[in-house]
Amino acid sequence: MIRAVRANKAGFHTAFFRPGVNLILADRSKVAGDKDTTNALGKSTLIEIVDFCLGSNTSPNKGLRVEALDGWAFTLELTLAGKDVAVTRATDAIGFFAIEGETNHWPIRPAPNKEGVSGLDAKKWRAVLGWALFGISEVGSETAYKPSVRSLLSYFVRNQAAAYNTPFKHFDNQKTWDIQVHNAFLLGLNWEKAAIWQQLKDQKKALDALRQAIKTGAVDGELASLGELEAERLRLSNQLERERGALSSFRVLPQYREIEAQANGLTSEIHDLVNANIVDQRRLNRYRDSLMGEGVPTESRLETLYEEAGIALPGLVVRTLGDARNFNAKIIRNRRDFIAGEITALESAIAERSGRVAALTDRRAEYLNALAGQGALEELTQLQDFHTATRLKVDELTNRISQLRQMTSKADTIKVETVELKRSTTLDYEERRAVWSKALSLFSEFSESLYKSPGRLVIDIGDTGYEFDVEIAGSPSEGISKMKIFCYDLTLISFARARGLGIDFLIHDSTIFDGVDPRQRAHALELASTMAAKYGFQYICTLNTDMVPTKDFSAGFDFDSLISMRLTDTDPSGSLLGFRY
């Protein structure tokens, strides 16, 4: 039970609490102006202080860690595990919780810090809270998906606007496993089933991520069917065997490159000789054709040419026709003698080159025979490199085939385990019916107290784990949505007390009554008072005075006796902190 909230500054209004319902009212004074407001008096700040002292995470420049609150320290007095203690946390030393009171029975004992103040760090303080309030240990569990005291407390101290959006979440981005594990714990279900469900989801997510990485190229390889990979491995394995056989029969000739160079030189020389013979053969053919096709000029032709020459060259000394005939015959003889000489020379050159080509060809054949079946050292190295590359490809394919088989097998295993988990969870659910059905009955009872027909708290087991829902007639309205949360939280605290858990307080901000009909507000406060007395817990709620349904309370209900503190907007000193910022 929370007994008091104090601070180290004189202007702070100490809040004292008692068993049952405790209301913190923000009064609007008669002299308050139109611009005054009850929304900055410290109602939400009081809840934030309680949560702060209960080990909430805090960020710089947010919440209580703002410049205006530098040097402030807040103290929460509460009864923990049957003993009264006080815990103090400073805004400029948030990692240390000073502890006063009897703690000998705690599993973790406070120890002095450098200044000699006895206390605990945040992790150890949360461990003590988990032990005292929920009977859990946050140390030693093998799974990361386990109940956390901070998440559990957030269902009993709703300290954010987002915490009033849905019964099963206390912040917007709360993960599914967090919702399933903690609500399962609070409703008497097997939370470990929810943890295993999340582990299977993680495994499936990892497989999907691997497949996507391969598909997008983030991981080497190309996603292929098992049959395609096997066919490619077989092809490369055959190639590997051929390369292995070639390596085993390969012989290195030390003079390989020298002999190869000589053979290449002979080849080049042979090519030059053959090309020269081709050119000379063409000339030889033209000379032979010239001799066969060339005729001797006739008498009449010479006479005609002689007359044309005389006409064309008048005044020149003209020789006699006989002289012309003798001159022409001499020219023809000389030409035939020249061509005959050229033919003889070409035939001799061609014959000589042909002999040279034959000799060089025989020598080259000897060199090539010496190279046959042998190779140079660098060729062996290159062949070995090719063989190594092929072997690496085969190994890579083997690994990919193994990986694909494992992925396929693991995916099948996850499916089987998920089906089995759903079956075992359903069996466990039935075995625990006597426990969780009490929670469902409480919700039905509480919702019926507020509305004409009872609502339903629904627990299903789907393909992804536990599924939770609440149903109250007229749910679309904002007011009824808030009352779903109210009834659920009242169910949780009542159920926790009935199960013997140490948690004995429930705290709501005035947000819980936004949009709620005054009659339901009155019924809710009366219900909270009755259940607090029945199950032995505190209900702390902040309200603006204009939200109090004075005319709708039942006859004899003493509302004024529930008021623990009044804040006022008369001046800044009327706020919780004694000033506004």
Same domain, 158 and 9: yes
- Tell me which of 347, 375, 403 is where a domain ends: 375
User: Per residue in 286-312, pLDDT tens?
Assistant: 888 877 766 555 555 556 655 665 544
Q: Looking at residue 343, what is its pLDDT?
A: 84
Regarding pTM above 0.85, the answer is no
- Tell me which of 348, 375, 402 is where a domain ends: 375
Same domain, 453 and 342: no
Q: Looking at residue 438, what is its pLDDT?
A: 97
For tokens 């219900």, the residue is 527
**Overall domain count for the chain:** 2
Q: Looking at residue 259, what is its pLDDT?
A: 58
pLDDT surpassing 90 at residue 22:
yes
Q: Looking at residue 297, what is its pLDDT?
A: 55
Same domain, 13 and 117: yes
pLDDT surpassing 60 at residue 559:
yes
Residues 514-538, mean pLDDT to the nearest whole number: 95
Q: Looking at residue 34, what is its pLDDT?
A: 41
Q: Looking at residue 289, what is its pLDDT?
A: 81
For residue 406, is it within any domain? no
Same domain, 182 and 104: yes
Q: How confident is residue 140, by pLDDT bands cut at 50, 70 and 90?
A: low
For residue 204, is it within any domain? no
Residues 138, 130: contact at Cβ < 8 Å? yes
- Tell me which of 375, 400, 421 is where a domain ends: 375
In sequence order, which residues have a C-beta less than 8 Å from that of residue 20 and are 6 or more positions away? 529, 532, 533, 538, 539, 562
For residue 419, is it within any domain? no
Residue with the larger pLDDT of the pair 328 and 460: 460
Q: Give the span between the Cα atoms of 152 and 131, in whole angstroms.
A: 12
User: Per residue in 423-482, pLDDT tens?
Assistant: 999 999 999 999 999 999 999 999 999 988 889 999 999 999 999 999 987 656 778 999
Q: Which helix (H) or strand (E) holds 389?
A: helix 377-431
Q: Give the span between the Cα atoms of 492 and 535, in whole angstroms.
A: 11
For residue 216, is it within any domain? no
For residue 504, is it within any domain? yes
Same domain, 350 and 449: no
For residue 158, is it within any domain? yes
Q: Looking at residue 224, what is its pLDDT?
A: 61
Residues 44-60, mean pLDDT to the nearest whole number: 95
The pLDDT mean for the chain works out to 85
Quote the domain boundaries for residue 276: 254-375
User: Per residue in 364-416, pLDDT tens?
Assistant: 776 566 556 565 555 556 666 776 888 888 888 788 777 777 777 888 888 99
pLDDT surpassing 90 at residue 525:
yes
Same domain, 30 and 150: yes
**What are the C-alpha distances in Å from 445 to residues 89, 185, 457, 472, 520?**
39, 21, 11, 12, 14
Q: How confident is residue 198, by pLDDT bands cut at 50, 70 and 90?
A: very high
For residue 313, is it within any domain? yes
Same domain, 438 and 567: yes
Q: Phi and psi for 248 in degrees, rounded to 5?
A: -65, -30
Q: For the chain, what percent of residues have pLDDT higher than 90? A: 53
Same domain, 20 and 153: yes
